[in-house]
Amino acid sequence: MAADGWYTYTGREGEIIPRNATRVRIDESLTVIPAWAFYGNRNIEEVECHDRVKTVGEEAFSNCTSLRLIIMSGVKVVECEAFSCCYALAYVECDKLEIIRHHAFLDCESLTSINLPSAKIIKEDAFLDCHALTNVVFGKELESIKECAFFRCTSLERITIPLKDNMITDDDIFEGCNLLHVDLVEGELHESIDALLWEEWKNDMNEEINSINQILPTTPAGAGDAVVDMGGKALAIRMWIRSVLRKIIQYKAQHFSVLEEAAARLKLALPQDIVIKNVIPFLELPSFTFEVGDHEDEEDDSEEEEEESSY
């Protein structure tokens, strides 16, 4: 163990971590923290990974009950139950984390917030029973949140997500949560609001942004074992996203029609190079992920909208 009190973990077969080691650095030779590497170690409190560590193996830190801080700025994948039952874990640095497997942070009772700017896939039960978790921030890369991902995160009040359809597909994602606020990834929707100058559009979109935070406080989330009223919050968020995206498509179509007509007139009056450099770019607007379903899906959406209106 180094003079500064840090132990360097090398991953060698049969390696024994000193009983008095409370702070651990991962050796420069490792890119993967092996499965069960620190399983059940009740002494370590801090772990620091270098940027070339890309994966934290299955149950690598499971039941490390004193672990309170993990710095893994280069890690892209956290495997199943990697940090399950780390009851003291309060701070996680994971700027490049893309995939969080099931039960990865199960029962991390001290975790109050987590920033996941690069996350793409959040698997089943990833944050199950993180009772102190109040705030989760995702970035624009988020693709999907699987069932029960935040099941019984009873203190969860705020989540930041991108505006993508079919990202939230299961009604039980926020079951048992106290989710009150949904924020959009900074700047995402406002790019389109700023691009369209119509006052009607701006007012409509601002109302949409505000509406979900008025709906959620009175929307039931279920109580864990309840069948009645299960999944209201996930359903409300999903239907809100679709409503916003439909309006974006509608307004963008109107906007494009107006600009195309104006561009056609300008082409007759201006040189071609000026039109290409200064007119055509204004026909392009920020795009959004939105999958339009078939007729049967639209009927299902209508039924869901009726359910949502009763919340």
Q: Which pLDDT does position 278 carry in this prediction?
A: 60
Residues facing residue 184 across a β-bridge: 161
Q: Which pLDDT does position 210 carry in this prediction?
A: 86
In a domain, 231, yes or no: yes
Q: Which pLDDT does position 270 carry in this prediction?
A: 61
Same domain, 181 and 295: no
Same domain, 186 and 84: yes
CATH of residue 164's domain is: 3.80.10.10
What is d(CA 87, CA 105) in angstroms, rounded to the nearest whole number? Answer: 10
Q: Which pLDDT does position 220 carry in this prediction?
A: 86
Same domain, 268 and 167: no
Same domain, 29 and 130: yes
Domain that holds residue 269: 247-309
Contact (Cβ atoms closer than 8 angstroms) between residue 117 and residue 140:
no
Q: Which pLDDT does position 37 carry in this prediction?
A: 96
Total domain count, the chain: 2
Same domain, 296 and 222: no
Six token digits for residue 145: 């949140």
Q: Which pLDDT does position 38 carry in this prediction?
A: 97
Does the CA dihedral 203-206-210-215 come out positive or negative? positive
Residues 102-125 as b/e (b if ≥16 CB within 10 A, e otherwise) read: bbbbbbbebbeebbbbbbbbbbbb
Q: What is the pTM of this model?
A: 0.80
- In the block, tokens 């069960």 appear at 36
Q: Which pLDDT does position 178 carry in this prediction?
A: 92
Same domain, 116 and 29: yes
Six token digits for residue 258: 């107006």
Six token digits for residue 77: 């994948």
Does the CA dihedral 158-217-300-250 come out positive or negative? negative
What is d(CA 150, CA 244) in angstroms, rounded to the nearest whole number? Answer: 24
Same domain, 25 and 147: yes
In a domain, 199, yes or no: no
Q: Which pLDDT does position 299 carry in this prediction?
A: 42
What is d(CA 29, CA 193) in angstroms, rounded to the nearest whole number? Answer: 48
169 closest CA partner among 286, 81, 293, 84? 293
Same domain, 159 and 106: yes
Residue stretches of the chain with pLDDT short of 70: 1-3, 187-199, 222-231, 255-272, 274-311
Q: Where are the beta strands (DSSP E) in the chain?
A: 6-9, 23-26, 32-33, 46-48, 55-56, 69-71, 77-78, 91-93, 99-100, 113-116, 121-122, 135-138, 144-145, 158-161, 181-184
What is d(CA 33, CA 264) in angstroms, rounded to the nearest whole number? Answer: 60
